[in-house]
Amino acid sequence: MTPFLSIASYALLPALALTLSSVWASYYPLSRKTKSAILHFSAGVIFSVIAVEILPQVVEYHDWLLTTLGFGSAIGLMLLIRQVTENTHQPAQSQPTASIPITFLVLLGIDVIVDAVASDLHNSHG
């Protein structure tokens, strides 16, 4: 098998899983509790990736101040984005309206940029 076909077959697996799960979710919507459980599981996966990929480098450099500032500013940025993009003050009589999830889109864009930068940094340093 050529390298291109090998890479394409591995890339096809997550795309297929995403497509099938999207079709499934359109016919069988998940409950709020199940959605919450899936999102918490995903957050746990992200934290485990951070623990495996980033924390060994932090231990190697022994720079606790920079690490604390980095993680703290990331948390602060996420809370700031939520505060700015979500309308928490809604009148009691208003009906819920379907709108674009601005917070989700902003955080998704930031995640894509950070992942791209981290991937480029990782690939440039071997």
Percent of the chain with pLDDT over 90: 2
Candidates 110, 118, 115; CA nearest to 73 is 110
pLDDT band at 74 (very low <50, low <70, confident <90, very high): confident
The letter for the amino acid at 41 is F
- Residue for token pair 């819920």: 96
Does residue 90 register a pLDDT over 60?
no
63 or 72: whose pLDDT is higher?
72
User: So where are the chain's domains?
Assistant: 23-53, 63-85+101-126
- Cα diameter, the chain: 62
At 20 the pLDDT is 92
At 98 the pLDDT is 59
